[in-house]
């Protein structure tokens, strides 16, 4: 029973939150006259001693005492004696654990916010440096149209920006205090829930005691936000893995974020990127696991809910680690401008520009222009050359109206510069977005 019942092995990570919650509760009990000021003061000092014992590693955690709440209270009793027994007046471990866990998750949301902001800054710096560097843009991982390096970096800024807003939304929504909901029904003691809520930095007390002790939405939202962000991290990591191959050479990762092979001396492996790519597995696993724990639970508290913590702890640790590693990699990596440019013109990446030119200049319907361009691409493919290498005569053989002016749109620089629609890849557009994000970060 002890082995399956105890959570102290992991919930000791919430010791600081548990003690903060108890201090707020004890101060409120004194302020409302439920306990004496002397008892409250003894409890306060005792709790500080317990905290310092935990901080300096001398605290003896006991499995027989089940969880962090009972371990702390038992030690408090050793230290201060009788007043320790008054601390649990008007509360239960059910509102206590919900409060501790919320405080813990709230700290992690703040850490995620900081991690995301740092990563976004690193991406902005990359985007700024290469706002007008051309590279191939892909669909289906086939060369599609030229884009700019800055544009590609800013795509990730948008993605991590949405993650940031999800984190902030989740924090605002979860910031209600469960403390004082007691076991499930509230309490007959004249407690002041506003006082404990504000002492712990909550915006207000949770309005329904049944909901307050049985709600784990905040953990689920944390894991959902983490999962979506991990998907973004994983996609970017995959690009870095591909881009750093000898076949692509789009980026060179720093030695600090690569490893060598124990047998092949020429190898430099993107291990950090690969591990970030994999982290989504355990983070999404945690999300799925807690969804399954919570589904079908009747109100209010059930011991099933003790299974919430390990999933969230593991996901949080790995999310923060992945954010920090990605930030480090992005800061350190070098984009290889020449390789990017050389690849930008490959794969007939300006074929759309050719078709657009015919529409714009010759007033040919787009579908017909598309057909003519297809014929020219086939011709170039046949001769193993690129579109700009075809002669004007060749092109006029396919469509008599084509003039010399066509070559002005076939260069990749022209191609990207022309994509001035809002949110497009033109360097001027990219710089506008960099400026917008720089302002957002200042605020």
Q: Interface residues with ligand ARG (CB under 6 A)? A: 7, 11, 67, 93-94, 97, 301, 303, 305-306
Which entry of 140, 188, 262, 384 is annotated as an active-site residue?
Answer: 140
Give min distance, CB of 306 to ligand ARG, in A. Answer: 4
User: How many angstroms separate the CA atoms of 147 and 413, rounded?
Assistant: 9
Determine the Cα angle at 312 with ends 308 and 184, to 5°. 35
Name all contacts of 387-390 with Cβ < 8 Å and 24+ positions apart.
387/348, 387/350, 387/351, 387/354, 388/345, 388/350
Closest CB to ligand ARG among residues 92, 415: 92
Nearer to ligand ARG by C-beta: 101 or 250? 101
End-to-end Cα distance, the chain? 53
- Dihedral pair phi/psi, residue 20, rounded to 5°: -60, -45
Question: Mind giving me the DSSP string for 28-51?
Answer: HHHHTTSS-HHHHHHHHHHHHHHH
Q: Nearest approach, Cβ of 63 to ligand ARG (angstroms)?
A: 12
Beta-carbon contacts of 114 under 8 Å, excluding residues fewer than 6 positions away, are none
CB of 219 to ligand ARG, least distance (A): 12
Residue 90: both structure tokens together: 């008007």
Distance in Å, CB of 139 to ligand ARG, minimum = 48
- Which residue, 301 or 319, has its beta carbon nearer to ligand ARG? 301
What is the smallest separation between the CB atom of 109 and ligand ARG, expressed in angstroms? Answer: 20
Q: Which CB sits closer to ligand ARG, 297 or 435? A: 297
Which two tokens mark 409?
């749109």
> Of the candidates 158, 102, 50, 134, which has an alpha carbon nearest to the alpha carbon of residue 305?
102
- Is 25 part of the annotated catalytic residue set? no
Least Cβ distance, residue 241 to ligand ARG (angstroms):
39
Residue whose CB is less far from ligand ARG, 95 or 163 = 95
At a CB cut-off of 8 Å and minimum separation 6, what does 52 contact?
none
DSSP letters, 81-102, are -GGGGGTTTT--HHHHHHHHHH
Nearer Cβ to ligand ARG, position 76 or 164?
Answer: 76
The radius of gyration computed from the CA coordinates of the chain, to the nearest angstrom, equals 30
Catalytic option among 62, 261, 346, 408: 261
Active site residues: 140, 261
């Amino acid at each position: 029973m002890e082995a399956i019942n105890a959570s102290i092995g992991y919930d000791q990570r919430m010791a600081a939150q548990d003690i903060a919650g108890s201090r707020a509760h004890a101060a409120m009990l004194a302020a409302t006259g439920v306990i004496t000021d002397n008892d409250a003061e003894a409890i306060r000092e005792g709790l500080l001693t317990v905290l310092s014992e935990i901080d300096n590693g001398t605290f003896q955690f006991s499995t027989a005492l089940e969880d962090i709440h009972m371990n702390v209270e038992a030690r408090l009793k050793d230290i201060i004696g009788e007043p320790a027994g008054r601390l649990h007046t008007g509360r239960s471990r059910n509102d206590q654990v919900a409060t501790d866990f919320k405080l813990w998750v709230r700290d992690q949301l703040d850490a995620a916010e900081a991690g995301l902001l740092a990563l976004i800054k690193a991406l902005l710096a990359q985007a700024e440096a290469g706002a007008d560097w051309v590279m191939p843009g892909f669909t289906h991982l086939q060369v599609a149209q030229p884009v700019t390096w800055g544009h590609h970096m800013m795509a990730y800024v948008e993605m991590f920006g949405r993650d940031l807003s999800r984190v902030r939304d989740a924090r605002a929504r979860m910031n209600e205090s469960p403390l004082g909901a007691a076991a499930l029904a509230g309490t007959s003691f004249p407690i002041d829930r506003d006082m404990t809520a504000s002492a712990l930095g909550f915006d207000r007390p949770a309005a329904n005691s049944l909901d307050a002790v049985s709600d784990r939405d905040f953990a689920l939202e944390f894991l959902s936000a983490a999962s979506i962000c991990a998907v973004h991290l994983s996609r970017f990591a995959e690009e870095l893995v591909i881009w750093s191959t000898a076949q692509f050479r789009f980026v060179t990762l720093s030695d600090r974020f690569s490893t060598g092979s124990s047998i092949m001396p020429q190898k430099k492996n993107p291990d950090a990127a690969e591990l970030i790519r994999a982290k989504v597995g355990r983070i999404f696993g945690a999300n799925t696991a807690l969804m399954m724990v919570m589904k079908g639970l009747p109100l209010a508290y059930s011991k099933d809910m003790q299974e919430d913590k390990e999933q969230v702890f593991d996901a949080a640790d790995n999310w923060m680690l992945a954010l920090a590693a990605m930030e480090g990699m992005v800061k350190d990596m070098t984009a290889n401008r020449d390789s990017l440019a050389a690849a930008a013109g490959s794969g007939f990446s300006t074929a759309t520009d050719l078709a657009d030119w015919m529409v714009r200049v010759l007033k040919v319907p787009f579908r017909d222009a598309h057909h003519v361009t297809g014929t020219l691409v086939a011709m170039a493919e046949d001769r193993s050359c690129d579109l700009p290498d075809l002669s004007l005569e060749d092109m006029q053989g396919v469509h008599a109206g084509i003039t010399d002016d066509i070559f002005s749109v076939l260069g990749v620089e022209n191609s990207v510069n022309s994509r001035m629609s809002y949110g497009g890849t033109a360097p001027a557009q990219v710089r506008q977005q960099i400026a917008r994000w720089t302002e957002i970060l200042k605020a």
